[in-house]
Structure formats: C-alpha cells, structure tokens
A and B are shown apart, each in its own frame.
Chain A
Amino acid sequence: MSFITLRMGWRNLGRNMKRTLLAIGAIALGQLTLIVVNSLMEGFFQDILETVTGPLVGHIQIQDPLWHDERAADLYIDHLAETRKAIEGLKETVRVSPRIVTFALVASGEKSESPAEAEAGMIAGLDIDAETKRGGLLEGVPPEEWPAKGEVIIGTVLANRLNLKEKQLIAVISTDVDGFPVSELFTVKTIVDSNVELIKTLGVVMPIEEAGELLMMPDQVHELAVYGYDFMKADSLKEAITHIPALKDASIKTWREAIPEIVMVINVKKWFDILFLSIVFIAAAAGIANTAMMSTFERKHEFGLLLAMGARPARLVNMVIFESVILGLIGIAVGTFIGVAISTILSYTGFNYGFLGGSGADTSITYKEISFSLVIYPRLKLQHVVYGLVAVTLTSILASLWPALIAARLEPVEAMHRT
C-alpha cells in the first residue's frame, strides 16, 4: 500500500468529521464497556474463587461420606497423624488443615447472680499454626493472640451475643464423639472478625489437641482441608490423595465438587465474556460498515475519476479498508484509554454493587457459610484489551470489504456520469 493511498485514506476520515467522531465514539464505547465490565467480572469471580478455595473449603475436602448430610460428631476421619503425614508427603500438597467441628451450647462463664443464657455455638478444633497462614480460617491472627491450653478464640458476633470480652470465661457444653455430655470453662484469648460466617457467628476456636481431648477424639478429625499450589489443579491433587490407603472409605472432593453451585455461576462468566465480545463486535461492525458505506457512496464520482486516471481497483479497496481500520483503531485507542483509566481507579476504590441491589451499607453476603464481598476490585488483564483490538480490527476489515468491493467494481464513466 503506497504512502499516497494511506494519506488519502486518512484525509478522507476528516471529510465528515461528525460521522467519523460518531463512529469512533461507538467503537470506543464498546471497547471501554468490554474492558470495564470484563475487569469487574474478572475481579468478582477471582474473589469468589479465592473465597471458596480459601478458608473454608480448601482445594480438597476430606470427610466421612455421611458428614455432609448429618454432621454427627461420630462421623470422623480416623488415624489423623498417619493420614496427615501421607497427604503432606505428596508433591502436590502445600498445606493440610485438620478440623474438629461440633455444635455446642455456649454461655458466659463469668459468675453472676442469675444463670447465663446459653446460645448455640460451634467448637472448632483447629491446627492454629496452619489456619493462621494465608487462606486459613484464622488468617492474620498474630502468634501472641493464639489460644493456648484452656483458651479459645471466639467470633465477634458470638462475643456480642454473650457480652464477652477478652480474658473473660466462656462455658462450653457439648457432647463427645459418642454423644455423652461434656462441659468445660475456657478463657477468651482473642475475639476475631472472620470472613468465615461460621467462625464469626458461632465459632469457639481452640487448638485441635484441646478439642480432641474434650470430645474424646485424640487421633480423629471431622475434616481435612488440603491446599495445593494452584486451586485450578485441584483434580490432580485429588487424584494423588485418592491413592492413600487410609482414605479409601473417605469422601474426597475438590472445591468444584464441594460447592457445585459456585462452579455453575463461574461457568456463566465464560458465556458472559462471549456475549460482551459479540456486542462489541456487532456495534463496531454496524458503525464501521455504515461509515464506510456512506463514505463510498458519497465518493462515487471521485472513485470514478481515480479509476479513469488509471488507478487500479485494488488501490481503492486498500484505501477503503485502511480508512475503516484506522477508524476502528482510533476508537479502540480512545475506548482503551478511558476503560483502563476507569478500571484502574475502581481497582483502588472498589465498586460496591450491594448498593445496586439495595443492600445499603452491607459489604458482604453469606452463602453456604462463606462470606462473599459485595465490593468488587476490578482485575485488568491484557486479554481484555486485546480481545477488543482483535475483534474491532477484524470487524473493520470485514465490514469495509463490501463498500470497498463496490468502489472497486465501479465503471469510471458511469460513476462520474451519475454523480
């Protein structure tokens, strides 16, 4: 393509500035919508995935097959020490979090004139060291706040309900693994505001050894949450764990299997991406085709003159296509600039979509005992820009082919005569 052809194409864009600007605006709007919405969706779904595979579910869940439906204390995984060692020995494993979980009655253990009102609570016997690491149930709790023997961590909601403060006593009444009553007094070491709803509202967290002693489960747990290097590779981790003989009768589930509803929602995102890309594609195609078509018909006389002067039809085709591609690229550049700017700002400020649904000041919702944030922090990926760029460039070429071919097939005399 010669320089003159390019120059002519470029200058033609300025002939009808309003139309050109409208076309650029439409393409830019499509691109910025694509970038902002896709980065918001990416942030939203990444947050869901990290929440799901984080504290509560882990990458792999190992439980008694009946635990999910019955949650009875005697549905446990036996031989904890041996099993844990075997899982930790796998090359795919990063961390194993054993958990004892059973419901209890809890009340203030402080002496008072009238009996304390008991509330429903949940004993969570945890490996405190493992759970305070990134993605654990107690992520971020510093070592000086870890419970020692005779101490517990409780959630903020439970603490408020029982009117308990740190260093005060809490009475825990439950039944052991065989269903016989047990009771104990503990000192509240720390009160935590966990993003795991169960911990926040019901949790009475104690070291797993202490829970095992209280509930007569010295080498048993109700659940093992296993973490690998990448939650997207949970299937290979599961495959490796399945071969451990001690777990032959256990239920071993990846996070996808443990919460299939979430996976279904995530799958919807893929279709959402395609839908948005299609909208941008159609909007760009319509805008560019319209501009190119109008421009071609307006310049029939000029095209006829060029052909009469010896210009080859291919040159006209190149010129029309070039105009369209330039139009599309300018639109993409403008849209990308604005879209990236909006996404970047939102990635710092966050976007609370709870307001859209009328949730007021709430910043999280709880589903299946997991607290999901209502504040989205967009995650911009290069592919969000590239998708639009490729789609609009292809669209520009395809949409301008028809008017370009019309221009190329003009009879010079007839074109000049009719004009």
Chain B
Amino acid sequence: MKYAGVFFVVLFGIGLVSASFVFSEDSEPVLETPNFVKDGVLDLEGAIKYFENLYRSNSSVGEMEMTVVRPRRTQTMRMKAWTEGEDKSLIIVQAPPRDAGTATLKVDKNLWNYMPRIKRTVRIPPSMMLASWMGSDFTNDDLVRESSILDDYEYECVGPSESPEGWLLRCDAKPGVVGLWNRIDLIVSKDGTLPIEARYFDRKDRLSRTLYWSDVKVLGGRQLPAVMRLVPEGEPGNETTMHYLSISFGETLPADIFSLSRLEQSQ
C-alpha cells in the first residue's frame, strides 16, 4: 500500500493514526480493538501493516486550519480538501480573504497552483518540488511523493521509548530507493496504534524535521489525532500546525472535481 508522503498524513489524518478500527469495503470504520502488543513485545509487522492500511480511503472531504508560525508573524489559513484514492486531491484555501481561492490540484505526480489574485494557474515544475507549499513548512514534494514503509524501508522495533512514551520504530530507506528521507524514527503509542512523533532524517542522516501528533478525537467515524505539528530542524521560531475541523470518508465526489477547470472556479 502506497501513501502520498507526509503531507497527506497531515492533511487527511489517515496516516499514522489511531488504530482502534478496521475498515469495511466502503471504508466505513468498524470498531474493533486491535492488539499489537503481546507479552510485552510489539507485533512490528502487524502494527506497520495496520498503520499503512489506515491510509485507505476511496474518497474523502475534509476541512482544516493550517497555522504557519514564523519568527515575526503567524498566519492561519482555513482550507477544504477533497481526495480520491491516492492520486487525486484538491485543496482550496477559504480564509483569510487575502488568500481565499488559492488552490492546489494534484493528479498523479502533477501539481498545479491557482492564484486568484492574478487569476492564473501554473504547473509546478519538478525542480521546484522542494519549495514550500503555501508558505508552510511542507513542501510541494510532500504532496506528490509516494512512499511506503513496507516497500521502501527496512524497519525494526528499537524498543520502548521513554520520551514520549511508546515504541520507537526505526525505518531505514532500502538501498537504491530514491527518496528524500534516509531514515524515519517513528514513535507509536504503548499499544502500537497511535502515532505520536516522527523524526525525519535526510540523506546525510541529519535530523531535518519532526512531526508531532496530538489531540486524538473521532473524525469521520475514525479516531484520529486532530492536531499535527511539523517543526523544521535548525529554524527556530518556525513551525506549521494542521488542525482538523472535520473529515468524512467515502463521500461521492463530482466527476470533474479534480480538473483544471474546477481548479480555476475555486473561488
């Protein structure tokens, strides 16, 4: 099961989330209590498979607030997002008025931005994939990159983590896998179901950024961390927080919602 980078983890809350549910065919959650810890030992493969499956959703519609903190200024954007499978998504900024109507469309590995101020849509070139998305600490690459811990990383359970409390899972990129992260240290809850913290290490094995999950609540019938905070390393005073206001899964979406014409009608 592939998932589209850390961004969709953040944006849709369907990655690294609470594992109190399993899903039926139409993605509606069915309450069940998974158990990934037996006799004090974490069922690593089971936990990661479960974690990867949490991304499954035929479609989703969500509303969220993204707060970008900079040393001199803080800006909060309210946005709405639609997704279909793993390859299609549309995000439209609704507030503040200055940025309202700004939209991002992702179809496969293509990314387009619509700027209502100049009434123009531009396709983001591959060379700009590492640039910031909407001025946040997320990059365009976070939107389009697909990776899978099961397929692209060699993973192991290092052992119990004391701060924060939980299990520390170390995921090292497999040789030959092209990607931004050389290593991801993931800390999950003591029962192995809730993500708590992920540390991303770059190709030189330097800590690049840390993602924190908090405020677990039921959203769209699933128990999800409602707040995710991304803190870049070495940039004091900078962070981006995504706060989920609502999310629903399995929605029927208009056929043309992931089209360029729809993108330009985003206002």
- Residues of A with C-beta under 8 A to B125: 105, 117-120
Partner of A180, one of B73, B112, B124: B73
| B120 x A185 contact (CB < 8 A) | yes
By the criterion CB–CB under 8 Å, are A115 and B73 in contact? no
B206 interface residue per 8 A CB criterion? no
A residues in contact with B124, CB < 8 Å:
105, 118
Is B219 in the interface zone, CB < 8 Å from A?
no
Q: Select which of A105, A114, A183 is within 8 A of B131 by beta carbon.
A: A105
Are A120 and B71 CB-contacts (below 8 A) given A109-B120, A115-B121?
A: no
- Are A178 and B122 within 8 A (Cβ)? no
Residues on the B chain within 8 Å of A115, using CB: 112, 120-123, 260
Question: Quick check: A118 and B132 within 8 Å, CB to CB?
Answer: no
Task: Say how far B153's CB is from chain A's closest CB, in angstroms.
Answer: 30
Q: Beyond A105-B131, A175-B132, is A180–B68 a contact (Cβ under 8 Å)?
A: yes
**A76 nearest CB across to chain B (Å):** 11
- Could you tell me the distance between the alpha carbons of A184 and B98 in the complex, rounded to whole angstroms? 13
Partner of B122, one of A74, A171, A180: A171
User: How far is B122's CA from A119's CA once the two chains are assembled, in angstroms?
Assistant: 9
A74 to B237, CA, bound (A): 12
Task: Tell me whether A118 and B122 are in contact in the complex, defined as CB-CB below 8 angstroms, given that A105-B128, A173-B115 are known contacts.
Answer: yes
Which bucket holds chain A's interface residue count? 20 to 34
CB distance from A184 to the nearest CB of B (A): 6
Interface membership of A275, Cβ < 8 A: no
Q: Which residues of the partner chain B approach A171 to less than 8 Å between Cβ atoms?
A: 115, 118, 120, 122
Once the chains bind, are A74 and B135 in contact (CB under 8 Å)? no
Measured in the bound complex, the distance between the Cα atoms of B148 and A301 in whole Å is 101
For B98, the closest partner residue in chain A by CB is: A180
Residues of A within 8 A of B71 (CB): 74, 178
Q: How far is the CA of A219 from the CA of B163 in the complex (A)?
A: 45
Interface size on B, residues (CB 8 A): 27
Known interface pairs A175-B135, A178-B72, A180-B68. Does A118 touch B123 (Cβ–Cβ under 8 Å)?
Answer: yes
Say whether B70 faces chain A, with CB atoms less than 8 Å apart.
yes
Known A-B contacts A116-B122, A118-B123, A173-B115; the reply to A178 vs B70 at CB < 8 A is yes
The reply to whether the CB of A14 lies closer than 8 angstroms to some CB of chain B is no
Residues of B within 8 A of A245 (CB): none
In the bound assembly, the distance between CA atoms of A180 and B102 in angstroms comes to 13
Give the nearest-CB partner of B121 in chain A. Answer: A115
* Cβ-based interface call for B134 (8 A): yes
B residues in contact with A103, CB < 8 Å = 131
Q: Flag if A181 contacts B135 (CB, 8 Å).
A: yes
Interface hub of B118, B123, B125, B134 (most chain A Cβ within 10 A): B118
User: Would you call B120 and A116 a contact (CB within 8 A)?
Assistant: yes
Across the interface, which residues of A come within 8 angstroms of B238, CB to CB?
Answer: 179
In the complex, what's the smallest C-beta–C-beta distance from A172 to chain B, in angstroms?
8
Whose C-beta in chain B lies nearest to the C-beta of A107?
Answer: B122
Give the nearest-CB partner of B124 in chain A: A118
The answer to whether A173 and B122 have CB atoms under 8 Å apart is: yes
- Cα A180 to Cα B67 in complex, Å, equals 11
Contacts of A179 in B (CB 8 A): 68, 70, 132, 135, 238
Given contacts A119-B125, A120-B128, contact A181 B134 (CB under 8 A): yes
Residues in A with CB closer than 8 Å to B135 are 175, 178-181
B117 in contact (CB, < 8 A): yes
A180 to B69, CA, bound (A): 10
The 8 A CB mask of B67-94 against A (1 = contact, 0 = none) is 0101111010000000000000000000
Per the bound structure, the CA–CA distance linking A218 and B124 in Å amounts to 29
Q: Would you give the shortest CB distance from B114 to chain A, in whole angstroms? A: 8
Judge whether B113 is part of the interface by a CB distance below 8 angstroms: yes
Q: Across the interface, which residues of A come within 8 angstroms of B191, CB to CB?
A: none
Nearest A residue to B117, CB-CB:
A183
Taking CB atoms and an 8 Å cut-off, the chain B residues in 222-260 that contact chain A are 238, 260
> Is the CB–CB distance between B132 and A107 below 8 Å?
no
Query: Which residues of A from 152 to 192 have beta carbons under 8 Å from B?
Result: 171, 173, 175, 178-181, 183-185
| Chain A residues whose C-beta falls within 8 Å of the C-beta of B112 in the assembled complex | 115
Q: Whole-angstrom distance from the CB of A182 to the nearest CB of chain B?
A: 8
Q: Report B-chain residues with C-beta under 8 Å of the C-beta of A173.
A: 113, 115, 122
State in angstroms the CA–CA spacing of A181 and B116 once bound together. 12
Residues of B within 8 A of A181 (CB): 99, 102, 134-135
Residues of B within 8 A of A119 (CB): 125
A116 to B260, CA, bound (A): 12
CB distance from A253 to the nearest CB of B (A): 24
Given the interface pairs A117-B125, A120-B127, A181-B135, the reply to whether A107 lies near B73 with Cβ below 8 Å is: no
Chain B residues positioned under 8 Å from A178 (CB to CB): 70-73, 75, 135
> How far does the alpha carbon of A418 sit from the alpha carbon of B260 in the complex, in Å?
108
Q: How many Å lie between the Cα of A175 and that of B115 in the bound state? A: 13
Q: Please, how many angstroms separate the alpha-carbon atoms of A243 and B75 in the complex?
A: 38
Q: Considering the chains assembled together, what is the distance between the CA atoms of A120 and B121 in angstroms?
A: 15
Interface string of A110-152 (1 = CB under 8 A from B): 0000111111100000000000000000000000000000000
> Across the interface, do A183 and B115 meet the contact criterion of CB distance under 8 Å?
yes
User: Which A residues are in CB contact (< 8 Å) with B75?
Assistant: 178, 180
Contact string against B for A residues 79-110, beta-carbon threshold 8 Å, 1 for contact and 0 otherwise = 00000000000000000000000010101010
B residues contacting A by CB (< 8 A) are 68, 70-73, 75, 99, 102, 112-113, 115, 117-118, 120-125, 127-128, 131-132, 134-135, 238, 260
Which residues does A use to contact B, with CB under 8 Å?
74, 103, 105, 107, 109, 114-120, 171, 173, 175, 178-181, 183-185
5 residue pairs bridging A and B, Cβ less than 8 Å apart: A74-B70, A103-B131, A114-B260, A171-B115, A178-B135
Ranked nearest first, the 3 interchain pairs of A and B with the lowest CB-CB distance are: A115-B121, A118-B122, A183-B115
Could you list 19 further interchain pairs (A-B, Cβ under 8 angstroms) beyond the known A74-B71, A173-B122?
A: A74-B70, A103-B131, A115-B112, A115-B122, A117-B122, A118-B113, A118-B122, A118-B128, A120-B128, A171-B115, A173-B113, A178-B70, A178-B71, A178-B72, A179-B132, A179-B135, A180-B75, A181-B99, A183-B120
